[in-house]
Chain A
Amino acid sequence: MEILIYGLINSVSLALMALGFTLVYGVSRLPNFAHGSLYVTVGFVTWLLLNRLGLPYPVAMLVSLVLIALVGAATYQFILVRIRGMAISEIIASYAIGLAILEGLRWGGLKGTTLTLPVFAQGSVDILDVTVDFHRLLVILLGALLVGGLWMFVNHTKLGLALKGMAQDERAALTLGIDSDRMAVFSMALGAVMAGLAALVLMPLGNIVVESGYHVLIMAVAVCIVGGLGSWTGAVLAAFIIGFAQILTTAWMGPHFQVVVALLAIIVTLISRPSGLFGRQKELEERV
Chain B
Amino acid sequence: MFEALGLMVFYENMLALNNVSLTCRDGQIIGVFGANSAGKSTLMYALSGLMLDIQRKEQMQGGERITIRGKVNYLGNEIMDYQPARRAKAGIVLCPERRRIFPESSVLENLKIGGYLATPAQAKETLDYVFSIFPALTKLKDRLGGFLSGGEQQMLAIGRALMAQPKLLLLDEPLLGLSPAIQYWLAKSIKDIRDQRGTAIIVAEQYARPIMPIIDYGYILENGSAVVEGGRADLMDNPDVRAAYFGN
Q: How far is the CA of A223 from the CA of B31 in the complex (A)?
A: 51
User: Are A164 and B109 touching (Cβ within 8 A)?
Assistant: yes
The stretch of B91-99, B205-213, B231-239 in contact with A is B91-99
User: Are B85 and A178 touching (Cβ within 8 A)?
Assistant: yes
CB distance from A208 to the nearest CB of B (A): 38
Interface of B is mostly: helix
Digitize A160-199: 1 where CB-to-B-CB distance is under 8 Å, 0 elsewhere.
0110110011011111111110000000000000000000
User: Are B88 and A165 touching (Cβ within 8 A)?
Assistant: no
CB neighbours (8 Å) of A82 from chain B are: 60
CB distance from B110 to the nearest CB of A (A): 8
Interface residues of A in 71-117 (CB under 8 A from B): 82-86
Q: How far is the CA of A179 from the CA of B53 in the complex (A)?
A: 11
Q: How far is the CA of A92 from the CA of B94 in the complex (A)?
A: 36
Q: How far is the CA of A176 from the CA of B115 in the complex (A)?
A: 8
User: Are B112 and A177 touching (Cβ within 8 A)?
Assistant: no
CB distance from B87 to the nearest CB of A (A): 8
Q: How far is the CA of A161 from the CA of B95 in the complex (A)?
A: 19
Q: Residue B50 at the A interface, CB < 8 A?
A: yes
Q: Residue B194 at the A interface, CB < 8 A?
A: no
Q: Residue A288 at the B interface, CB < 8 A?
A: yes
Q: Residue B4 at the A interface, CB < 8 A?
A: no
**Total inter-chain residue pairs, C-beta < 8 Å:** 97
CB neighbours (8 Å) of B50 from chain A are: 171, 174-175
CB neighbours (8 Å) of A52 from chain B are: none
Q: How far is the CA of A82 from the CA of B96 in the complex (A)?
A: 26
Interface residues of B in 69-128 (CB under 8 A from A): 83-86, 88-89, 93-96, 100-105, 109, 112-117
Q: How far is the CA of A85 from the CA of B61 in the complex (A)?
A: 8
CB neighbours (8 Å) of A164 from chain B are: 102, 105, 109, 113
Q: How far is the CA of A172 from the CA of B98 in the complex (A)?
A: 11
CB neighbours (8 Å) of A173 from chain B are: 113
Q: How far is the CA of A165 from the CA of B163 in the complex (A)?
A: 14
CB neighbours (8 Å) of A171 from chain B are: 50, 53, 96, 100
Q: How far is the CA of A82 from the CA of B59 in the complex (A)?
A: 10
Q: Residue B146 at the A interface, CB < 8 A?
A: yes
User: Are A162 and B146 touching (Cβ within 8 A)?
Assistant: no
CB neighbours (8 Å) of A271 from chain B are: none
Q: How far is the CA of A51 from the CA of B246 in the complex (A)?
A: 81
* Nearest B-chain residue to A231, judged by Cβ: B104
User: Are A284 and B146 touching (Cβ within 8 A)?
Assistant: yes
User: Are A85 and B57 touching (Cβ within 8 A)?
Assistant: yes
Interface of A is mostly: helix
Q: Which of A86, A281, A284, A288 contacts B61 (CB 8 A)?
A: A86
Q: Residue A158 at the B interface, CB < 8 A?
A: yes
* Nearest B-chain residue to A83, judged by Cβ: B60
Q: Residue B40 at the A interface, CB < 8 A?
A: no
User: Are B93 and A176 touching (Cβ within 8 A)?
Assistant: yes
Q: Residue A287 at the B interface, CB < 8 A?
A: yes
User: Are A284 and B104 touching (Cβ within 8 A)?
Assistant: yes
Contacts A176-B116, A177-B85: A169 and B164 contacting too (C-beta < 8 A)? no
User: Are B105 and A178 touching (Cβ within 8 A)?
Assistant: no
User: Are B88 and A175 touching (Cβ within 8 A)?
Assistant: yes
User: Are B53 and A168 touching (Cβ within 8 A)?
Assistant: no
Contacts A84-B60, A162-B116, A177-B117: A172 and B100 contacting too (C-beta < 8 A)? yes
Q: How far is the CA of A42 from the CA of B50 in the complex (A)?
A: 38
User: Are A165 and B103 touching (Cβ within 8 A)?
Assistant: no
* Nearest A-chain residue to B115, judged by Cβ: A158
* Nearest A-chain residue to B84, judged by Cβ: A174
User: Are B60 and A284 touching (Cβ within 8 A)?
Assistant: no
Q: How far is the CA of A171 from the CA of B157 in the complex (A)?
A: 13
CB distance from B155 to the nearest CB of A (A): 15
Q: How far is the CA of A168 from the CA of B99 in the complex (A)?
A: 13
Q: Which of B103, B104, B146, B161 contacts A175 (CB 8 A)?
A: B161
Q: Residue B144 at the A interface, CB < 8 A?
A: yes
Q: How far is the CA of A288 from the CA of B98 in the complex (A)?
A: 10
User: Are A161 and B109 touching (Cβ within 8 A)?
Assistant: yes
Q: Residue B199 at the A interface, CB < 8 A?
A: no
19 A/B residue pairs, CB under 8 Å, sorted by A:
A161-B112, A161-B113, A165-B116, A168-B102, A168-B104, A168-B105, A171-B100, A172-B101, A173-B113, A175-B48, A175-B161, A175-B164, A176-B88, A176-B113, A176-B161, A180-B53, A287-B146, A287-B147, A288-B103
In the A-B complex, the 3 residue pairs with the closest CB atoms: A177-B88, A284-B146, A165-B113
Interface residues of A (CB under 8 A from B): 82-86, 155, 158, 161-162, 164-165, 168-169, 171-180, 280-281, 284-285, 287-288
Given A164-B109, A176-B114, 5 further pairs, Cβ under 8 A: A161-B109, A171-B53, A176-B161, A177-B85, A287-B147
